[in-house]
Amino acid sequence: MIFKLVGDERPYPDHGLTHREWAQIPPRQVRLDSLITTKAMLDLHSLLAADSTFYGDLFPHVVQWQGELYLEDGLHRALRAALHQRSILHARVLELPN
């Protein structure tokens, strides 16, 4: 099992963070098996592209809400980590109030 659950939506309220605001959150370690995805499908071109981790934030974005961790952005990075037999991922985690 790679993820805790594969979801296809964002059940938490809209946080409205910009890319600049995400960048202010320091990355921390997160276990892959504690994450719930917010996308059920991934384009293989995104996963396998040589530059897929070059553009954008280096760290996936995770939202913690009601005791759960939701992988909002960076599914391709999380899957790459799993394919390399890693169980831990460095991600930026935004904690939303319940």
Look up the domain containing 3 and give its range. 1-9+22-43
Written as six digits, the tokens of 41 are: 């499908």
Nearest by Cα to 79 from 94, 54, 60: 60
| Structural domain includes residue 68 | no
The percentage of residues in the chain with a pLDDT greater than 70, rounded to a whole number, is: 88
CA 9 distance to own-chain centroid: 13
| Structural domain includes residue 76 | no
CB atoms inside a 10 Å sphere around CB 11: 12
Dmax of the chain from CA atoms?
A: 38
Does the pLDDT at position 71 exceed 60? yes
The number of distinct structural domains making up the chain is: 1
Tell me the per-residue pLDDT of 23-57, one tens digit each, with 9 for 90 and over.
999 999 999 999 999 998 877 776 666 655 555 56
- Across the chain, mean pLDDT equals 89
| Structural domain includes residue 71 | no
Query: ∠ CA 34-55-77 to the nearest 5 degrees?
Result: 20
| Structural domain includes residue 27 | yes
| Structural domain includes residue 83 | no
pTM: 0.88
Contact between 42 and 71 under an 8 Å Cβ cutoff? The reply is no
Contact between 91 and 27 under an 8 Å Cβ cutoff? The reply is yes
| Structural domain includes residue 5 | yes
